Amino acid sequence: MPIVPQKITGQQFAALDRPEQLDILCRVGNRKKLQLLFDAADGDELLALLPPQDLFLLARELGADQIPELLGMATPEQWTAFFDFDCWTGDRFDAGAARPWLAVLLDGEEPRIVEILLGLNFELLTLILLQEVQVVSGPEELESEAERGEALRRDGGYLLEYRDEEGAKLYGALLDILFRHHADFFRYLLEAVRAEDESLLEESVYRQRADRLVDQGFSAPDEARAVYAWLDPERYTIPAEAKIPLGGSATGAAPGALLQLARPGGTLALALAGGIDAGTAWELTCLINRTLLADGADCGDIDEIRAVAGRTLGLLNLALEYLAGNDADKARHCLDEEYAERLFRLGFSLTLRLRQRARAVVQSAVGPLLDRRFRDVIEPLLPVRPQFPVAARHPGQGGAQPFAALQEVRLVEAWLDQMEVQRRLFEDHFRFPLPAAVDDLSVAAGEPTLSALFLTALANRLLGRPFMPQPLVAGDVRTLHGLVTRGRLVDPELRRQTLTWLDSLEAGGSTFGEYCLGRWDDEFCAVAVEALDPRYLGGLIVSSP
């Protein structure tokens, strides 16, 4: 019977060989991972094989100060990664963000603290101290040989000033441990702090960090933005040549933490239901990391990482549903044969097509006149990264969310179809100008909209006038009510004739007609004739008294 990773016991885990153990660690959540590592006799060896980003995300989710014993087993390379992920804002290093990590390190055994400090990237360690500690003087400035010798034995002979009291406690303790266990390195480090120019050192450490992040599945920020490059859905095909595997090593674990933060849905979930092999895990991790960089996300903010990872997997699922529908085997084939990044670009490009259509509508003559229910749909599509409008599923509700399924694209396409029909009706078929013909109008519920213009023009035609959105006068309102109302709704025959006429002008025109006549049903016909107030009528333009 196959083992369910989240339910595996410590005894079952211990019986597995090393590759199987690493696979389990890749697939379980962080709390289960923590339990398995602590229970394992060789937990420190397993921990050393985890991708640094996975360990960093574990610490961010559970709290670094809550797991000092585990972090004490981490390698110096993993500790360097903690600072790489959490202590930079753009190209500027933030030593203040390093303090919580070093405070956790200080909770460990002194020999282990020294081992980690010696193994950290030296220029990174120097930069941390340079921002926190000022070396006022060194032992060479002591004139008395006896005094100098005593100072060298006592504290290395350096006079130090710290940025603040909290820093004095933290860095004073770390430097004291380092001096007592490895005085030569202590002196070498402080001399580097004295000699280095902070700006030049920060620039050098930033470049080294970028190189290290490449090894973790990141890319240069300029390259990362290419993840959003257009890929024409109509011309897309899976390349015939085999793809080259990304990332990984023969001995280390495949990454899994990012995939635990944002669980895949839809067809992507079906394709991965049988498990995620190491190659796919590396591809998906590299993809999410590229979008993190492209979005300018904070790689140390677990909530921001979770949001970006969710958006990324949602667009990847969108592409798979476009190519494979709900066929899990076909979707798995797409993942095996095509790079995840190109699939992501395909999914994103499907939303870009919606944006292109939305912009064309907004920039047309009817754009400023769209009714609120249509504006609620179109506005979330206009940003550089289009989002799914909640109003497309629930008219009248605002808000937006990341696209994650093909059904959402199809739903928005149907709304855009309606808006394009409205555009053609007003630009190609209705013989009145927009919007100059509606100056100085008193319109219920705001400025004139397409539905109000159409219904006012229809009202004029029913009153024996030209089909124009000429404002009605107050006396027209009761007459019109009698003409169009049957049983508190629009007269069925009038509805049929109007919808048939609109369809004859433009295929699908009746959909706009249904919406407009629905306004009359709710806002005009449902009102008793004696209660009609021209100032508060929906769907009609009435001139001011």
The yes-or-no verdict on residue 146 having pLDDT over 50 is: yes
Question: What mean pLDDT comes out for the span 128-150?
Answer: 75
**Is residue 309 situated within a structural domain?**
yes
DSSP 26-43: HHS-HHHHHHHHHHSTTH
Which amino acid makes up residue 184? D
Output DSSP code: residue 447. Answer: S
Among 404, 429, 454, identify where a domain stops.
429
In a domain, 490, yes or no: yes
Residue whose pair of structure tokens reads 């060789």 in the numeric block: 42
For 481-494, what is the mean pLDDT?
96
Average pLDDT over residues 96-106: 96
Average pLDDT of the segment spanning 335-339:
93
Structural domain harbouring 453: 437-542
Give yes or no: residues 468 and 386 share one domain: no
pLDDT at position 441 over 70: no
Q: Do 442 and 332 belong to one domain?
A: no
- Give, for 76, the enclosing helix (H) or strand (E): helix 76-86
Enter the DSSP assignment of 157. T
C-alpha 196/C-alpha 498 separation (Å) is 81
**161 CB neighbour count, 10 Å cutoff:** 10
Confidence band for 439, pLDDT divided at 50, 70 and 90: very low
DSSP collapsed to 3 states, 493-519: HHHHHHHHHHHHHCCCHHHHHHHHHHH
Q: Does 244 lie in the same domain as 145?
A: no
Among 180, 214, 248, residue at a domain's last position: 214
pLDDT surpassing 50 at residue 444:
no
Higher pLDDT: 429 or 282? It is: 429
pLDDT bucket at 223, cuts 50 / 70 / 90: confident
Answer whether 415's CB lies under 8 Å from 428's CB: no
Boundary residue ending a domain (429, 456, 474): 429
Number of domains in the chain: 3
Average pLDDT over residues 376-397: 96
Q: Are residues 374 and 393 in the same domain?
A: yes
Shared-domain flag, residues 374 and 256: yes
Residue 334, both tokens: 């797409």
Poorest-confidence range of 257-271, 397-411, 412-426? 257-271
pLDDT in tens, 513-530: 999 999 999 999 999 999
pLDDT attached to residue 270: 94
Chain center to CA of 256: 18
Task: For residue 141, name the pLDDT band (cuts at 50, 70, 90).
Answer: low
Mean pLDDT of all residues in 275-303: 89
Q: Return the SS3 of 229.
A: coil
**Other residues' Cβ atoms within 10 Å of the Cβ of residue 399:** 12
Q: Is the pLDDT of residue 442 over 50?
A: no
Mean pLDDT of 264-283: 89
User: Which of the residue ranges 129-143, 164-178, 516-530 would you say has the lowest mean pLDDT?
Assistant: 129-143
- How far is Cα 224 from Cα 292, in angstroms, rounded to an integer? 8
Residue 147 pLDDT greater than 60, yes or no: no
Contact of 451 with 518, CB cutoff 8 Å: no
Pick the closest to residue 265 from 467, 404, 124 (CA basis): 404
Task: Extract the tokens encoding 92.
Answer: 């500027």
Q: CA 45, 51, 54, 59: dihedral to nearest 10 degrees?
A: 50
User: Angle at Cα 335 formed by Cα 355 and Cα 385, nearest 5°?
Assistant: 20
Strands 541-542 and 442-443: antiparallel
* 44 part of a folded domain: no
Would you say residue 231 has pLDDT above 80? Answer: yes
Q: Which residues are within 8 A (CB) of 414 and not within 5 positions of it... i.e. 6 or more apart? A: none
Do both 325 and 299 map to the same domain? yes
In one letter, which amino acid is 495?
R
Residue 233 and residue 201 in one domain: no
Residue carrying the six token digits 């005009």: 524
Tell me, yes or no, whether 155 and 85 share the same domain.
yes
Query: Of 144, 157, 167, 163, which is closest to residue 187 (Cα–Cα)?
Result: 157
Which pLDDT score, from 0 to 100, does residue 298 have?
A: 86
Tell me: do 108 and 230 sit in the same domain: no
Please name which of 160, 164, 192 lies closest in space to residue 176, comparing C-alpha atoms.
160
User: Which residues are within 8 A (CB) of 426 and not within 5 positions of it... i.e. 6 or more apart?
Assistant: 365, 366, 434, 450, 453
List Cα–Cα distances, 219 to 86, 165, 225, 284, in angstroms: 17, 38, 10, 14
Percentage of residues in the chain having pLDDT higher than 70: 92
Contact present, 388 and 380 (Cβ < 8 Å): yes
pLDDT of the residue at 264: 86
Separation between Cα atoms, residue 205 and residue 227, nearest integer Å: 26
Q: Is the pLDDT of residue 142 over 80?
A: no
Quote the CA–CA distance of 377 and 415 in Å, as a whole number: 8
- Whether 9 maps to a domain, the answer reads no
Contact 32, 24 (CB under 8 A): no
Average pLDDT over residues 329-347: 95
Average pLDDT over residues 125-138: 92
The pLDDT value given to residue 144: 61
Average confidence (pLDDT) over 56-71: 93
Among candidates 285, 290, 201, which has minimal Cα distance to 245? 285
Query: For 471, which DSSP code?
Result: P
Element (H, E) at 486: strand 485-486
**Weakest mean pLDDT among 115-119, 248-252, 399-403:** 248-252
Query: Which residues lie across from 401 on neighbouring strands?
Result: 388
Does the pLDDT value for residue 440 go beyond 60? Answer: no
Place of tokens 């991965």: 272
Q: Which amino acid is at 328?
A: A
**Residue 313 resides in a domain:** yes
Spatial distance between the Cα atoms of 321 and 503, rounded to a whole number of angstroms: 33
Is 489 in a helix, a strand, or coil?
A: strand
Residue 440 CB partners (closer than 8 Å, separation 6+) = 544
CA distances from 296 to 95, 223, 292, 334 (A): 20, 13, 6, 29
Mean pLDDT (the chain, rounded): 90
SS3 (DSSP) at 134: strand
Split at pLDDT 50, 70, 90, the class of 425 is very high
Handedness of CA 361, 365, 371, 376 (dihedral sign): positive
pLDDT at 437 over 80: no
Is 26 inside a domain boundary? Answer: no
pLDDT one-digit tens code per residue, 191-221: 999 999 999 999 999 999 999 988 877 887 7
Contact indicator for 512, 414 with CB cutoff of 8 Å: no
pLDDT score at 50: 92
445: pLDDT strictly greater than 60: no
The answer to whether the beta carbons of residues 105 and 79 sit under 8 Å apart is yes
pLDDT, mean of residues 58-62: 92
Shared-domain flag, residues 221 and 100 = no
Of the pLDDT bands very low, low, confident and very high (cuts 50, 70, 90), residue 149 is: low
- What pLDDT is stored for residue 179 in this prediction? 92
Confidence check: pLDDT of 155 > 70: no
> Do 289 and 398 belong to one domain?
yes
Buried b (16+ CB within 10 A) or exposed e, 347-378: bbbbbbbbbebbeebbebebbebbbeebbbbb
**Domain annotation covers residue 20:** no
pLDDT at 457: 97
Higher model confidence: residue 451 or residue 253?
451
Statement: residue 413 has pLDDT above 90: yes
**Parallel, antiparallel, or unpaired for β 485-486 and 489-490?**
antiparallel
User: Quick one: the chain helix, strand, coil %, rounded to 5?
Assistant: 65, 5, 30
Domain co-membership, 261 together with 245: yes
Residue 403 in domain: yes
